[in-house]
Every structure is written in structure tokens, then in C-alpha cells.
Amino acid sequence: MLLPQEIIRRKRDGETLDAADITAFINAMSSGSITDGQVAAFAMAIFFNGMKRDEAVALTLAMRDSGDILDWSDLPGPAVDKHSTGGVGDNVSLILAPIAAACGAYVPMISGRGLGHTGGTLDKMDSIPGYRSQPDNDLFRKVVHEAGCAIIGQTANLAPADKRLYSIRDVTATVESIPLITASILSKKLSAGLDALVLDVKSGNGAFMTRNRDAVSLAESIVAVAAGAGLATTAVLTDMNEPLARAAGNAVEVRNAVDFLTGDRRDSRLEAVTLALAAEMLVSAKLATTHKTATDKAREALNSGKAAEVFGRMVAGLGGPTDFVSRARYHLAVAPITHEVRATRAGYVASIDTRAIGIAVVTLGGGRIRPQDPIDHAVGITALQPLGAMIEEGEPVALVHARSDSDAAAAVEVVHAAFGFSERKPRTINPVLRRVGV
């Protein structure tokens, strides 16, 4: 007979739990036979005492097995995906999925909504008129087969244990636990039936893991646990001390992604991170033998227009406009008010409070303060100047898109304070920091 309090006690006292106990606890949690208080106590015990690799593997697999597991064995190529730990101006998924698909991979990308100051891929896709981000499984499979990729939201039957555990972690200050983050991410990805997974683990003032060593620890944990669970996984650590793209919001990031895919405009940091992740995906999926050949293959898919074509087929297949790629500016919502954020002194952009940029988007209505809040897809911030840019006094460092003058004024104040200047040009760094593999 399961005694949840005994399992909680053992973990509270720092003991190692065996797989059977972890599985029994998660099964009881899924069936509703234990209370929220017991789940919270279990999460807090793990928060303070951690988990060994085998415990984290058992927790991940138990959460995966709490719901459906997709089967992509009928695909003519490998099923691969990418997960990001979240950032600002991070629209990589919208670009990466069609690049990988254009190179022969199949990308059933199950994404999430915005969390805190970070944007959500699903919220961005919802800014496309008619796009069905929550399709049934038949349509999901059809689009993956025909377009090569589909970016959708998590269904109710994929890792439902994670939904309950996360909702309790969110209100009990136990989110920032590496074993629990690891199990949460991997349980969903394992239930998606992937052949390979690539992680974009961010560090810096706009990331959840602000310190590099914490980001490394998380990457190493996920890679090791994924290996124990039988999923080929690598991680790329990337810098989030400034927005990745020059746009932050929903529709504005979709427009930025379309411009990137078509070659109208490509932000250099966004390109570096996207191509690094694409190379990892292609090597992990055995579609390229070296990272150099994989990078060349990804760049060719981008420059030839094949990736843009894949994106267009995916959008149309999931209910969006058939001419979206060529006419994105006409289909995306536009905020009625724009205000420039002007520099009050000349100098080089020496620092950017990236988290503040994300918070400004949220307060404009582009994110959620409460889970039930609606999203205003039109609002956001564009023309963000990067670190190292030389700005004259009175020149704009960003452009705020708002629903009202008062919203715009408040956002302008926050964005203005987020930029720091110096007379000396700062050293810029490669946004791709390092790779973590088994």
C-alpha cells in the first residue's frame, strides 16, 4: 500500500528513492488520490535535497507514462525537436523548425505559452489569423507528414502529471529545482515520441538561469537524464544578456521571423543561435556527419527559400493564410500607437536589462499577469538596438507598439531605463557559449 507521507519523509531526510516508489507517487498524483499539500511537500523535499540521476530518470519516465505517447515510426525521416528555457526576442523556433524540415528532418514541435517575462512560441503562432495551435492529433500528424513540421501546443493527454505538478510548483516556490525542471521538460518531449532533442539553455539577465554555472548545471542534468531515458539529446548554451532578435512581442516577432526566412532582414545574433541549433539537430538526427556540413546544409535551406516555403505550408496546413509568407504584414495585427524611445545622451549601448524589456511587453498586454489573461498580439517592441551600437543623443534605441498613449508612455519609461550607455565600445561576445553533450 502506498503511503505518500513515507516517500515524502524519506526524500525530506535526504534518502534516495527507488524507481518503484517514485512511479507509485506519480501514479497516485495523476489519479488524484493524494492531496495538493502532499504533492507540494514532495516538490519541496526535492527542491532542498535534489535527486540523483537515476531518481530523476524514474521521475521523468513516470511523468511521461502518465498520458499518451506519440508514435512517429511511420515518418520517412527522423522526428526531432528543440526546447528553449526561455528568453526575450527569442523567435528561434519559428525559424528553426522549417529549416530542419527543409533538410529532411520532421519536427513535431510541441511548444508552450509565455512564462513570466519570457515570450511563448504558442502565443506568437496564435497571432497568425486562422492558425490552429491546438489541432486534433489527426491534423497534427497530417501537417507534420506533409509540411515536415508543425508548431502546436501540448495536448491534454501528453504528460498530464507534469501539468498538475507544475501548477503546484508554480505557487509553492519550487519552480527553480534542476531535477524538477529536467523532469518537466523531458517528460513532455519523451511523450512526443522523438528520435532526438536539442536544448537551447540560456543564461544572462534575460534568462531564468541568470548565472552561467546554473545554466551549465541544468544543461548537464537534462542531457544526462535524457540519455538515461533513451533519448539522444544535446544542449547549446546561449547568451541572453540582450534580446536575441530586434523585436519582442508576438506579431512583431512573427514578422521578424518571416523577414528572416525570406532574407529581407536577419539579425546576426538570431542567425548565429539558429544555425548552431540547426546543426545540432541535423547531426543528432544523423542527417549530417559533422557540425560544419550540417551548418552549410541549414544555411542552404535558408538561403534557397526552401525553409520559407516549409513555413508557409505549415501555416496554411494549420488553417492560416495560404499567402502568409508573402503578405505577413497585411495579415498580422498592428498596434494603433507607436512611440520612439530616444537616447538622452550619446554613447555606445553598454548594457541592456533584458528582463525589463520582457516585462515591458507583458505590461503592454503582450504577456499574462494572470494565467487567464488574454493576449494582445499586436503590441510589442521593435527596432531594439544591440549591445555595441553607437547612438547619438535623441536617436531612437527602440520603438514601442501600444494600444494606448498611456500604455506606450509607461513602456517607453521602462525601456529607456533598460539601456545603459558608455563612451567606450563594449566587448561583444558570440551568443553561442558552449555545447553540452554526453
> How are strands ordered across the β-sheet holding 419-422?
390-391, 347-352, 419-422
CATH number for the domain spanning 270: value is 3.40.1030.10
Catalytic (active site) residue 11: no
Catalytic (active site) residue 60: no
User: For the chain, what is the domain count?
Assistant: 3
Write down which residue in 328, 358, 390 finishes a domain: 328
Catalytic (active site) residue 422: no
Same domain, 342 and 414: yes
Q: How do residues 405-415 score in pLDDT, each as one tens digit?
A: 999 999 999 99
Catalytic (active site) residue 84: yes
Catalytic (active site) residue 184: yes
Write down which residue in 288, 307, 328 finishes a domain: 328
Instruction: State the angle between helix axes of 4-12 and 36-49 in degrees (0 to 180), rounded to the nearest 10.
Output: 20
Looking at residue 116, what is its pLDDT?
A: 64
Cβ-Cβ contacts under 8 Å for 173 (sequence gap 6 or more): none
Q: Which of 23, 64, 66, 83 does the annotation list as catalytic? A: 83
Instruction: State the angle between helix axes of 178-191 and 160-170 in degrees (0 to 180), rounded to the nearest 10.
Output: 150
Same domain, 190 and 126: yes
Helix (H, G, I), strand (E, B) or coil at 152: strand
Same domain, 89 and 167: yes
Q: Which of 66, 85, 133, 184 does the annotation list as catalytic? A: 184
Q: Which of 81, 90, 259, 353 does the annotation list as catalytic? A: 81
Same domain, 220 and 138: yes
Looking at residue 367, what is its pLDDT?
A: 85
Q: How confident is the model at residue 1 (pLDDT cuts 50, 70, 90)?
A: low
Q: How do residues 355-375 score in pLDDT, each as one tens digit?
A: 999 999 999 999 877 666 788
Same domain, 183 and 312: yes
Q: Is 240 part of a structural domain of the chain?
A: yes
- Between the alpha carbon of residue 418 and those of residues 90, 213, 380, 422, the distances in Å are 18, 24, 15, 14
Q: pTM score > 0.85 for this model?
A: yes
* Cα–Cα dist 395/94, whole Å: 31
Same domain, 111 and 233: yes
Q: How do residues 179-216 score in pLDDT, each as one tens digit?
A: 999 999 899 899 989 999 999 999 999 887 889 999 99
Same domain, 166 and 187: yes
Q: Which of 11, 124, 163, 189 does the annotation list as catalytic? A: 189
Same domain, 345 and 323: no
Catalytic (active site) residue 189: yes
Catalytic (active site) residue 121: yes
Cβ proximity of 79 and 201 under 8 Å: no
Structural domain for 396, as ranges? 334-422
Same domain, 137 and 197: yes
Catalytic (active site) residue 142: no
Q: Name the H helices within 103-230.
A: 121-125, 137-147, 160-170, 178-191, 212-228
* Cα–Cα dist 165/143, whole Å: 31
Q: Which of 30, 84, 85, 262 does the annotation list as catalytic? A: 84
* Cα–Cα dist 362/81, whole Å: 27
Q: Is 29 part of a structural domain of the chain?
A: yes
Of the CA atoms within 13 Å of residue 223, those in its CB half-sphere come to: 19
Same domain, 228 and 305: yes
Catalytic (active site) residue 174: no
